[in-house]
A and B are shown apart, each in its own frame.
Chain A
Amino acid sequence: MTKMLSNKLIITLFIMPGLLFFACFILIPLIYSAFYSFTNYDLLQPYTFIGLDNYKELIRDGDFYHSLWNALLMMLALIFIQHPIAIAAGMFAQYLGRGEKAIRAVYFLPTIIGVVVGSMVWSSIFSTQFGLLNHLLDIVGLESWQHDWLGDPKTAIWCIILVSMWCGFGYAFLLYYTGLKGIPADLHEAAKLDGASNFQIHTLIDLPMLKPIIKVNVILAVIASLKMFDITKLMTNGGPFKSTHMPLTYMYEEAFSLNRYGYGNAVSITFVVICLLVTFAMNKMMKSEEGEA
């Protein structure tokens, strides 16, 4: 058995396909991307090397910073709005008994149908022509609040953040809900015997016990905001006036719509570095916190 399990040929056969996929579709593209980030390639004419020019331009590119700012806004909204609601809902759902499964399904439905359908539905809701939102405002007598929600740079980004919270809520909820389910019941009972109120049980027992799940969810929220693409692309395509761009939609537009493929690659490479740094920093932070505890 041991001999069979240390057969070099078999080990190579087992891991090679996976490594090949990693090399061909993750590693080599990144090298390619880095290469073209030093050129002025436009996908049409032959390119020349322009050294660090793309990166120099990127450093002064206000639109790129704005896209990063939008990603940060999204991150903060997910962490400080979506997640507290998801935690509360997760706690409340524990009292439901029979209805738990149905509620779980209802909350998860937007996640399951995917962001493409979600974005299109919400585009209709925000529509000025027959949109549900303006219609509702009309009904409750707030006509003056009616608005071209996706056409105004001030509100468009919030619409996109809202849709992203809506799509991802079920996911966050599910993690908190199952995490809470996993807390041993005798902990609650012991606390009750000691005279703790339900509020105390939730804040003093459940919340600390949820800490690992909260961490995971925060990491997922950060990753989700960094990777954000579909909703913006489908709902506003970065507009109006580039106000809703996320780093990846910005990269896409530069490369394919404006034919600045070289510059798009510089955006892409810079963004990979940002992602790796953020992940590294988060891991560090989470680790050092564990060290203290």
Chain B
Amino acid sequence: MLRKLGIWGTIAIIAVLQIFPLLWLFNFSFLPSSEFFGSSILKWPDPFHWKNYSDALTHGKVPQFFLNSVLVTAVTIVMTTLISIFMAYAFTRMYWKWRGVVLGIILIGMIIPVQTTLLANFLIFKNIGLLDTYWSLILPGIAFNIPISTFILTGFLVSLPREMEEVAVIDGLNIFGLVMKVVIPLCKPAIAAISVMVFLASWSDYINPLTFISSESLKTLPFSIIQFQGQYSSNYGAQFAVLTLISIPSVAIYLLFSEQITKGIMAGAVKG
């Protein structure tokens, strides 16, 4: 009995610590800023202060930044997956001398922190005119997601039998058709896992847009908050509404793909 209480107690305390800040955020996003300074920890909004959300949508530029995030994230995911799958295929199925060496080089990419190339990329992009374009977010995003994605796909392909591919070739598919029509469908679970991982990394990316983007029209979702902090610093309610709105897509993704996320994280972690 006491043991059960201990187990449930611990689990519950951690759960409260993890979720309470978010509940507080959600709750206060429905309050006018004047009520932030009250005496209770959580308050039933009476009435619901929807103006926070309309303020958030208009001043926080949430819809526009949201579309930018969708565009950057989608292109990054598709390109990373395509490039990685062809590479992984060459690493696991094809016969060539420098296979091990090249794989080793690619995997070094996992050790180097993205941020250490930030200063150099800033200048390079400035010189070749990529600064302040979508590409300045997409290209480094792809580059730094390729190593881990290739690694996961390589591991997955090794475990797959080759018969399907042989049959397809006998049926007359060329090698591109083989990868597109046979290998990609076979790798669906791994592709789902890496897509989710790339999504999480790209969607909440803050350092790259902070450095490379200066035009309002190209900023991504995390910047809605910063936008608000600067210009409407005392409008706490609307700031909380922005934070809530930004969280919704990620939470939706989790609810839809929780199994893939778990698999993706496990696959991603095995690299250690």
* Minimal Cβ-Cβ distance residue in B for A32: B120
Write the nearest CB–CB distance from B208 to chain A, whole angstroms.
Answer: 11
**Interface residue ranges of A2-19 to B (CB < 8 Å):** 2, 4-8, 10-11, 13-15, 17-19
**Interface residue ranges of A82-133 to B (CB < 8 Å):** 85, 88-89, 92-93, 95-96, 101, 103-110, 112-117, 120-122, 124-125, 129-130, 132
Of A121, A217, A271, which one neighbours B113 at CB under 8 angstroms?
A: A271
**Interface residue ranges of A162-200 to B (CB < 8 Å):** 166, 169-171, 174-175, 178, 198
A103-B11, A105-B258 given; A268·B119 CB < 8 A: yes
Counting residue pairs across A and B whose Cβ atoms lie within 8 Å, the total is 249
Write the nearest CB–CB distance from B170 to chain A, whole angstroms.
Answer: 8
DSSP class of A's interface residues: helix, strand, loop or mixed?
Answer: helix
Whether a CB of chain B sits under 8 angstroms from the CB of A30 is yes
Whether a CB of chain B sits under 8 angstroms from the CB of A220 is yes
* Minimal Cβ-Cβ distance residue in B for A88: B10
For residue B159, which residues in chain A have a CB less than 8 angstroms away from its CB?
none
Whether a CB of chain A sits under 8 angstroms from the CB of B124 is yes
A117:B246 contact, CB within 8 angstroms: yes
Whether a CB of chain A sits under 8 angstroms from the CB of B19 is yes
- Contact segment of B46-54, B56-64, B87-95: B87-95
B113:A166 contact, CB within 8 angstroms: no
Write the nearest CB–CB distance from B2 to chain A, whole angstroms.
Answer: 13
Of B11, B243, B261, B262, which one neighbours A120 at CB under 8 angstroms?
A: B243
* Minimal Cβ-Cβ distance residue in B for A94: B7
**Roughly how many angstroms separate A68 CA and B91 CA in the complex, as a whole number?**
37
- Contact segment of A146-154, A203-211, A226-234: A226-234
A28:B124 contact, CB within 8 angstroms: yes
A11-B94, A93-B11 given; A255·B119 CB < 8 A: yes
**Roughly how many angstroms separate A9 CA and B222 CA in the complex, as a whole number?**
43
Of A15, A114, A170, which one neighbours B18 at CB under 8 angstroms?
A: A170
Whether a CB of chain A sits under 8 angstroms from the CB of B150 is yes
**Roughly how many angstroms separate A191 CA and B173 CA in the complex, as a whole number?**
54
For residue A166, which residues in chain B have a CB less than 8 angstroms away from its CB?
17-18, 21
Write the nearest CB–CB distance from A88 to chain B, whole angstroms.
Answer: 7
Write the nearest CB–CB distance from A261 to chain B, whole angstroms.
Answer: 7
**Roughly how many angstroms separate A132 CA and B111 CA in the complex, as a whole number?**
38
B270:A216 contact, CB within 8 angstroms: yes
* Minimal Cβ-Cβ distance residue in B for A286: B272
B253:A112 contact, CB within 8 angstroms: yes
- Most B-side CB within 10 Å, residue of A22, A233, A252: A22
Of A116, A132, A198, A215, which one neighbours B206 at CB under 8 angstroms?
A: A116
Whether a CB of chain B sits under 8 angstroms from the CB of A59 is no
- Give 1 or 0 for each of B228-250: 1 = CB within 8 Å of chain A CB: 00000000100110010011001
**Roughly how many angstroms separate A189 CA and B204 CA in the complex, as a whole number?**
44
**Roughly how many angstroms separate A105 CA and B175 CA in the complex, as a whole number?**
41
A169:B18 contact, CB within 8 angstroms: yes
A14-B89, A139-B41, A234-B206 given; A21·B142 CB < 8 A: yes
Q: Which 4 A-B pairs have the closest CB atoms?
A: A114-B204, A25-B143, A29-B120, A29-B117
Q: Interface of A with B (CB < 8 Å)? A: 1-2, 4-8, 10-11, 13-15, 17-19, 21-22, 24-26, 28-30, 32-33, 36, 43, 85, 88-89, 92-93, 95-96, 101, 103-110, 112-117, 120-122, 124-125, 129-130, 132, 135-136, 139, 166, 169-171, 174-175, 178, 198, 213, 215-217, 219-220, 226-227, 229-230, 233-234, 248, 251-252, 255-256, 261, 264-265, 268-269, 271-272, 275-276, 279
Q: Interface of B with A (CB < 8 Å)? A: 3-4, 7, 10-11, 14-15, 17-19, 21-22, 24-25, 36-37, 41, 83-84, 86-87, 89-91, 93-96, 102, 105-106, 109, 111-121, 123-124, 139-140, 142-144, 146-147, 150, 166, 169, 175, 200, 203-204, 206-207, 210-211, 222, 225, 236, 239-240, 243, 246-247, 250-251, 253-255, 258, 261-262, 265-266, 269-270, 272
